[in-house]
Chain A
Amino acid sequence: MNTREYFLPQSVNEATQLLAKHGPFMLVMAGGTIAMPLINEGISFPQKVMGLRRAGLSYVTKPNGKITIGAMSTLTQMLDLKEIPILQEAAHQVGGWAIRNMGTVGGNLFAPPPAGDFAAALMALDAQLKLVSTAGARIISLTDFYTGFMTTALSPGELVTEIQVPVPTGKTAYLKYGRKHANTPAVVTVAAQIELDGEGVTNSRIALNAVGPHPIRASKAEEILSGSPLNPTTINMAASAAAEECEPFSDAIATEWYRRKMVEVYVRRTLTKITDRR
C-alpha cells in the first residue's frame, strides 16, 4: 500500500543515472534535515526520493591551495578544517550536535533562508561547485549558482557533487546573529574575506545570509572597500551600503526592518573583527 520509492545509490554514477531516469520529480535528499521534517509533518508527499548518504561523497581532500569537499560531507566534518577557521565557525553555528552530524555541506546550499548560513561562508571564500550529470561535469561559482528563491543554476539531471574552496589568501571573519546563541535561525549572517595590500583593500568578498532569497553578496559594500583603506569610516560606509542593498524579509524571528538594521551592525562588526585581527 506504500507507493513511495526510496533510492540509495552507492556511487555518483548511479545517482546521476537514477536522476536521469526518474526526472525532476524525484526529491534529492542529502542529510535529511530539511526534507524529512516536511515529510514527517505531512506537508510534502514525495513519491520518489533519492538519498545520497551512500554515494561516496563524504570526503575532504586538500590538493594544492584548495580544499575539496564532497557534497555529502557533514557539518561536523567541517569542524576539523583548521585551514579555514571561518568554515569551522560557520559549521559550528548550524543546529545542534546531532544536526551537524547529519546536515551536509551540499544540503546547506539548498536550505531555504534564513537557513543556509554555511553557504554564505562558502560564498565569501569564492567557492566553486562541481555539478555532475550523466552528460558530464561542469564547475560553477557559488555566487552564480543561485538564481532566485529556491531556484538554482542546476540543470535537470545535475547534482552538486563537490565544493571546491580556495584556501583564503585574505583575512576572514564570520558572525551569525540569531535570537539566541546556538541552534537557531539567523537574523543575519555575515561572512567576509578581505585582501589587503598594506592598508588598501585589493579584493573583498562580503556574503550575507537571511537577508535575501538566498545567500547574497553585498556587492556595493565590496565596491566601497575596493581600493580603500579598511578603517572605521570605510567600514561604516560599507555597512550602510550593505544594509541598503540587501533584500531582507520578515518571518517569525525578525522583521524586514530589524534585519536591515542588523545587517548594518553586523557587517560593521564583522569587518571590525577583521581589522582587529591584523
Chain B
Amino acid sequence: MASKIVTFTLNGRRIEVLVKPLTTVQTLLRDQLGLTSTKAGCKQGGCGSCTVLVNGDPMMSCLLPVEDVQGQEVTTLEGITPTPGLHIIQEVFYENFAIQCGYCTPGMIMVSKALLDRNPHPGREEIIDALTGNYCRCTGYEPIIQAIEEAARRMNGNGN
C-alpha cells in the first residue's frame, strides 16, 4: 500500500509528513525527523522512554501509528525546551541529580510535564502514580520523585 500524507501539529508547528503504513510516531520522530529525544528503550510500551504528549496526554509513541495522530497536537521534549535555557522541570532534574545514564530522562520529563500541567500541587503519591509506566534502572526513582516535588514548588513560585 502506498505511503500516506499525514498532517498534525508537532511542537506547536503544523507539519505534513509522508509515512509508510503503520509507521509509529516513534519511528517518524527519530528516523524521519531526527528528533531523537524520544527514545526507543523497548518498543513494547514497557519502559516509557518514548513517551510523548498527544493533546497533552502522555502516550507511548512506539505503539502509536502516525496516521492516528492526524490533526492532533504532539509534543516532544524538543518542544518544551526553551531557547535558550531550560524548562523548570529540566532545570530541577539537572540540579537534583535526577539523571544518571540519561536514557529514561526524556520520558520522565514528559510525564512530569503532563502531571504538573494537570496538577500543579501533586502529592508524593500522585507523583509516584504518574511515574509507574516509566522505567529507570540507574537512579532508584527517589531523586526523580524529589525533582518533581521541587519543580512543583518552583513553578508555584516557592522554590529557591
Contacts and interface: CB of A to CB of B under 8 A. Distances in A.
Q: Do chains A and B touch in the complex (CB under 8 A)?
A: yes
A229 to B, nearest CB: 37
Contact of A99 (B67, B130, B133): B133
A191 to B, nearest CB: 21
Contacts of A32: 63-65
Contacts of A40: 24, 43-44, 62
B12 interface: no
Given A37-B63, A40-B62, A96 B48 contact: yes
Of listed B1, B45, B51, residue having the most chain A CB within 10 A:
B45
Given A51-B67, A96-B134, A183-B132, A4 B22 contact: yes
Interface stretch (B53-61, B82-90, B142-150): B53-61
A169 interface: no
Interface string A62-99: 00000000000000100000000000000000011111
Given A32-B63, A54-B68, A183-B133, A4 B44 contact: no
B21 interface: yes
A176 interface: no
A6 B22 contact: yes
B4 to A, nearest CB: 8
Interface string A4-45: 111010000000000000000000000111001101110000
Contacts of A101: 54, 57-59
Interface in B13-38: 20-22, 24
Query: Which are the 3 A-B pairs with shortest beta-carbon distances?
Result: A96-B133, A6-B21, A40-B43
Given A37-B46, A49-B21, A101-B57, 17 more contacts: A2-B1, A2-B20, A4-B1, A6-B21, A6-B22, A31-B63, A32-B63, A36-B63, A40-B24, A41-B43, A54-B68, A76-B57, A96-B131, A97-B111, A97-B132, A97-B133, A102-B64
